[in-house]
């Protein structure tokens, strides 16, 4: 991900209140990359991607790039993202280890796998929680931890809660297996296959994982940053775009209805024209 910094050499400017950076005042837009995990708390769904975390407000039905879980923390390669509803704790497995925090805290703590029997984060299949413990599934083993300290717990004390574990949803875990979407249909120029949807121009979106939220809605992550959403008692899927479709933006436009439009002109960047085949579509698509 590329960042551009602009410095203005005006004495005292950086101290002015109007120029201080406040994350809540900005709407950040990026190209998501593949969806790797989905979590849910009382108010939001969280979609972990290759380029950060997107938050979906369930009341407003609106997606936003989550600054706190993304840019501020700089966790690379998030593979598991979980909300422990028993204690209101967030857990992340990422390229540098395992981190956790309370939902009301701004500080993340690092969890050690020493004495747990797990030697690498790549051995982690799923993470979850029960009334008294945090759990990691590694192969066929379920390993308990103290949910507040992150230290290994005694199996003899914890084994009675195995049947009460609420597991997370990750493309690396059970949520990434046995994906079946052929029973659904999508409006537009799409064909629904077993694990993918294909556009009439040959482009393919592959499903990476599945999650059912507390309201019974079906969510499918994909390898292209799109999300497929299904509803209770419905066989229809909707394609949702949560970020930019391209890493390149050559034009931005703010219309009279206060909508932002972003586009990438290959001609402006390279001097080459795109094929006009994509213009002959019966319905609009993310492409």
User: Cα–Cα–Cα angle for 218, 29, 280, nearest 5°?
Assistant: 70
In angstroms, what CA-CA distances link 221 with 196, 216, 282?
11, 16, 25
Tell me the percentage of the chain whose pLDDT exceeds 90: 60
pLDDT number for residue 247:
60
Query: Residue 284 and residue 150: Cα distance in Å, rounded?
Result: 48
Tokens (6 digits) for 155? 């199996």
DSSP 121: G
Q: Quick check: 197 and 189 in contact, CB under 8 A?
A: no
Query: Residue 7 and residue 14: Cα distance in Å, rounded?
Result: 10
Q: Quick check: 220 and 184 in contact, CB under 8 A?
A: no
pLDDT number for residue 279:
40
pTM: 0.79
pLDDT number for residue 280:
41
Q: Express each pLDDT in 117-175 by its tens digit.
A: 999 999 999 999 999 999 999 999 999 999 999 999 999 999 999 999 999 999 999 99
Residue 60 — left, alpha, or beta (φ > 0 → left; ψ -120 to 50 → alpha)? alpha
Q: Quick check: 39 and 212 in contact, CB under 8 A?
A: no
Listed in sequence order, the residues at least 6 apart from 282 whose beta carbon sits closer than 8 Å to its beta carbon are: 188, 189
pLDDT averaged per 10 residues in sequence order, the chain, 287 residues: 44 48 62 91 95 92 82 77 98 93 91 93 97 97 97 97 98 94 93 94 94 97 94 93 66 65 63 52 47
Which residue in 45, 85, 69, 64 sits closest to 218, CA to CA? 45
pLDDT number for residue 225:
87
Tokens (6 digits) for 241? 């775009």
């Amino acid at each position: 991900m590329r960042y551009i910094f602009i410095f203005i050499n005006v004495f005292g400017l950086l101290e002015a209140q109007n120029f201080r950076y406040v994350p809540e005042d900005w709407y950040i837009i990026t190209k998501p990359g593949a969806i790797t995990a989905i979590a849910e708390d009382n108010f939001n769904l969280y979609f972990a991607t290759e380029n950060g975390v997107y938050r979906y407000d369930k009341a407003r039905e609106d997606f936003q790039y989550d600054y706190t879980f993304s840019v501020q923390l700089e966790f690379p390669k998030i593979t598991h993202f979980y909300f422990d509803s028993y204690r209101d704790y967030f857990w992340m497995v990422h390229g540098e280890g395992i981190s956790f925090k309370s939902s009301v805290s701004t500080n993340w703590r690092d969890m050690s796998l020493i004495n747990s029997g797990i030697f690498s984060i790549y051995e982690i299949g799923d993470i979850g929680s029960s009334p008294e413990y945090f759990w990691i599934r590694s192969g066929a083993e379920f390993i308990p931890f103290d949910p507040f300290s992150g230290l290994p717990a005694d199996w003899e004390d914890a084994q009675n809660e195995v049947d009460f574990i609420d597991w997370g949803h990750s493309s690396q875990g059970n949520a990434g297996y046995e994906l079946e979407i052929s029973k659904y249909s999508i409006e537009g120029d799409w064909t629904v296959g077993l694990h993918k949807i294909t556009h009439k121009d040959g482009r393919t979106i592959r499903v990476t994982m599945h999650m059912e939220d507390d309201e019974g809605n079906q969510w499918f992550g994909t390898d292209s940053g799109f999300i497929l959403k299904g509803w209770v008692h419905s066989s229809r899927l909707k394609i949702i775009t949560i970020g930019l479709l391209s890493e390149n933006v050559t034009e931005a436009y703010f219309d009279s209805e206060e909508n932002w439009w972003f586009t990438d002109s290959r001609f402006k960047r390279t001097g080459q024209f795109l094929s006009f085949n994509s213009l002959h579509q019966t319905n609009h698509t993310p492409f």
